[in-house]
């Protein structure tokens, strides 16, 4: 199905099932421990052995020799494959660092060997017995030190966030020089880890020259393609199965060492091999959100209207990598005639930087939305009103290109009303409750809507049961449920009459999970397949497909009504189709918007910051399931708390690795850190987006939250911290003296 004109009335608009806050259909399996995650697929294949990856102990250099004699004699060892046993494996297009092969070391904990044994403990102990001789080389591990050498480069997150190396509109320097009120400030965000609940894990089994892996992966079609390329085998000989994923946040978008080394280990041992990455390997061997140094300059007239906007960002990555696209939202969020954005990349020898939930906008808004608050204060304006004054309904860089939907002003106004913004003191440090200094903060949220081709197969059996098959993944987001809702709505059956099968590369290729594109595109693919099936059913019954109604398990036309099961017959029926998009995304800017409001308390003696309450008001097209969408947003808000107040991968700048590479040292929010969270979805449909009239929302809930917390902390104390995370050591020396 080609979607190239705005959606009109269609079966989804009935909203009998779609749009309702239904419980997740996979919930009972997960809460009872029956959902089969990758490492637990004991049912998949018999006689599984255990693999363990040995990571490099240096960050830059080469391996001179590896002595595996003792390891091979260790109890239970079945096979050992080292990086010296083969030339460097070819990389898939999504990988920056090589996943295995050859003596050259590109980063700390790069995989250099896999040991296969009868038990996990035997494999781990044997890996520790491998003796490696390294030749160290000097490395570049300090972003601030390398920043002066950073080069202008284009950036594209692959998730709708991107920018050219440098882009100018109007005369920024001239407008900034003559602006009545100016801001010139630098903000930094640290390296961050995905820290998902389920680590990367794979079970691999060969049958002749065919490979099956049961793995934890967000993008099945990408994974199949890249695994085949890396191993040098035909793609048709590779099958991936990933029905349940215990979180990914972008860390499982791409092929990683667990899949490659499980496959190599299984080949060498001639046994199925199960392998999971330890937490240190998740931090140092996979990908992370790279640190940024962001300079923002704003100029405005005394009336508060922005006349000059500049956002320049520096980040680091391995040779051949890409920058964090932190300036992307600044190209679209606020009006202003004179503009400058730039991206610079410093080459570092740290582990690979790549997509983490809301790449670009998440760290970019942590800077931009603090700068907007600082500017509002300089102008003597309310921060909400300052943002509203500078709203735009067109792309600021192309006035002919309108937003398909843009309700940022409505998000901010409703949020201010619901949050009690009028009670906020404009002067920082004025509200005290015992030992706590209390303040409120606001930030705009922004995230682009990305359209991707997505396919599905829909089957109808003689009992009227509808089965959907697509390689779409559920990473904890509720894909099973919204896909079932879509099929139920389209085919006119109860939710209980729908079966959903996901995550298998033998199914039609979907959009996959990432960049908040999954829900809208995967359900649009199911919509397309259901439309094709509806037409086939109508044609079989001799009905006019344009007039046929699918309701209450029946197909009706005129005075005729036939049960779906009877229409399908004993052999059943099936249809496969995909959603493809025309040029609507080029003609209209498609984005999602939010107003984030936060209240914090800061301990007047210690500088400890505690979030007290949070509100997100979101405008993101049709909300397919308000319950699962709310869960996505409050989870994202929780990540925002972590980014603002605690999350930071500490870099050892001598040896080039992340020191706090486990959940004991890398702090993330826990239940006790998270207060009342409220989420409001504006009533919105976007017919420009898809036949579902939906957009993404999962990452929008994160974009802007960190800045709202930082702004609230400033309102509470009068202390402006521009270097995240806002830990008490950055506050305590500047706190007002206690009486």
Enumerate the active-site residues: 699
Contact 521, 219 (CB under 8 A): no
Place of tokens 């050219």: 164
Integer Cα distance of 61 and 651 in angstroms: 18
DSSP for 69-88?
HHHHHSTTEEEEEEGGGSPP
What are the b/e assignments for 235-246, b being 16+ CB within 10 Å?
eeebbbbbbbbb
Supply 121's token pair.
Answer: 């403990």
Number of DSSP helices (H) and strands (E) in the chain, helices first: 17, 35
User: Rounded CA gap, 604 and 739, in Å?
Assistant: 11
Using CA atoms, how far apart are residues 713 and 720, in angstroms rounded to an integer? Answer: 8
Which residue, chain included where needed, has tokens 């890409």? 322
657 burial level (CB within 10 Å; 0-12, 13-18, 19+): buried
513, two tokens = 């999970």
- Identify the CA nearest to 315 among candidates 350, 286, 263: 350
Burial label, 633 (beta-carbon count in 10 A; 0-12, 13-18, 19+): buried
**3-state secondary structure string across 334-356:** CCCCEEEEEEEEEECCCCCECCC
Place of tokens 């809702």: 485
For residue 687, give both structure tokens.
């017919």
Q: What is the DSSP letter of 735?
A: S
Task: Write phi, then psi, for 285 (nearest 5 degrees).
Answer: -95, -30
> Tokens 């999350």 correspond to what residue?
647
Query: Contact, 357 vs 252, CB < 8 A?
Result: no
What's the first-to-final CA gap in the chain, in angstroms? 70
């Amino acid at each position: 199905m080609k979607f190239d004109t705005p959606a009109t009335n269609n079966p989804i608009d009935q909203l009998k099932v779609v749009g309702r806050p239904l419980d997740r259909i996979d919930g009972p399996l997960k809460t009872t421990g029956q959902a089969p995650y990758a490492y637990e697929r004991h049912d998949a294949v018999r006689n599984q052995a255990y693999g363990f990856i040995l990571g490099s102990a240096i960050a830059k250099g080469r391996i001179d020799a590896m002595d595996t004699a003792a390891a091979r004699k260790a109890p239970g060892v079945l096979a050992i494959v080292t990086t010296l046993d083969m030339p460097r494996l070819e990389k898939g297009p999504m990988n920056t660092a090589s996943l295995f092969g050859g003596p050259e070391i590109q980063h700390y904990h790069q995989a250099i060997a896999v040991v296969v044994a009868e038990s996990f403990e035997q494999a781990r102990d044997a890996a520790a017995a491998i003796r490696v001789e390294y030749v160290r080389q000097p490395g570049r591990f300090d972003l601030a030190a390398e920043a002066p050498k950073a080069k202008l480069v284009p950036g594209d997150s692959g998730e709708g966030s991107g920018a050219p190396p440098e882009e100018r509109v109007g005369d920024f320097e001239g407008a900034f020089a003559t602006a009545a009120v100016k801001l010139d400030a630098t903000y930094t965000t640290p390296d961050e880890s995905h820290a998902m609940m389920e680590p990367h894990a794979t079970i691999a089994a060969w049958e002749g020259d065919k490979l099956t892996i049961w793995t934890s992966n967000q993008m099945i079609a990408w994974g199949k393609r890249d695994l085949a390329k890396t191993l040098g085998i035909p793609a048709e000989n590779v099958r991936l199965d990933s029905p349940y994923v215990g979180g990914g946040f972008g860390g499982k978008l791409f092929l990683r060492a667990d899949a490659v080394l499980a496959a190599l280990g299984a080949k060498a041992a001639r046994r199925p091999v199960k392998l999971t990455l330890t937490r240190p390997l998740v931090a140092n061997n996979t990908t992370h959100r790279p640190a940024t140094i962001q300079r923002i300059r704003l100029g405005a007239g005394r009336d508060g209207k922005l006349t000059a906007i500049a956002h320049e960002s520096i980040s680091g990555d391995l040779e051949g990598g890409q920058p964090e696209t932190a300036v992307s939202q600044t190209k679209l969020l606020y009006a202003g005639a004179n503009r400058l954005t730039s991206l610079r990349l410093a080459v570092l020898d740290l582990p690979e930087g790549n997509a983490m939930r809301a790449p670009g906008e998440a760290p970019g808004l942590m800077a931009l939305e603090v700068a907007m608050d600082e500017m509002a204060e300089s102008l003597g304006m309310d921060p909400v009103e300052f943002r509203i004054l500078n709203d735009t309904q067109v792309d600021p860089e192309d006035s002919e290109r309108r937003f398909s939907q843009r309700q940022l002003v409505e998000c901010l106004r409703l949020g201010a009303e619901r949050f009690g913004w009028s009670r906020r003191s404009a002067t920082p440090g004025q509200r005290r409750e015992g030992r706590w200094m209390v303040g409120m903060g606001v930030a705009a949220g922004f995230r682009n809507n990305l359209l991707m081709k997505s396919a599905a197969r829909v089957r109808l059996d003689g009992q009227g049961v509808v089965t959907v098959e697509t390689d779409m993944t559920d990473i904890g987001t509720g894909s099973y449920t919204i896909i079932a809702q879509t099929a139920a709505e389209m085919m006119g059956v109860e939710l209980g009459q729908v079966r959903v099968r996901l995550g298998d590369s033998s199914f039609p290729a979907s959009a996959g999970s990432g960049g908040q594109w999954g829900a809208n595109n995967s359900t649009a693919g199911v919509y397309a397949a259901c439309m094709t099936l509806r037409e086939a059913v109508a044609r079989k019954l001799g009905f006019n497909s344009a007039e046929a109604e699918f309701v209450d398990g029946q197909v009706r036309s005129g005075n005729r009504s036939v049960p779906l099961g009877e229409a399908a017959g004993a052999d059943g029926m099936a249809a496969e189709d995909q959603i493809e998009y025309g040029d609507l995304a080029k003609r209209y800017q498609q984005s999602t918007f939010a107003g984030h409001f936060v209240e914090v308390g800061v301990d007047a003696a210690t500088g400890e910051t505690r979030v007290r309450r949070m509100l997100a008001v979101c405008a993101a097209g049709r909300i397919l399931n308000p319950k699962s969408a709310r869960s996505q947003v409050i989870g994202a808000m929780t990540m925002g708390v972590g980014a603002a107040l605690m999350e930071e991968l500490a870099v050892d700048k001598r040896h080039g690795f992340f020191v706090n590479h486990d959940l004991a040292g890398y702090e993330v929010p826990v239940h006790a850190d998270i207060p009342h969270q409220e989420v409001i979805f504006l009533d919105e449909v976007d017919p420009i987006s898809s036949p579902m009239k939906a957009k993404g929302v999962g990452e929008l809930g994160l974009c802007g939250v960190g800045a709202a917390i930082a702004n609230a902390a400033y309102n509470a104390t009068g202390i402006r911290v521009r270097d995240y995370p806002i830990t008490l050591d950055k506050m305590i020396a500047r706190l007002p003296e206690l009486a």
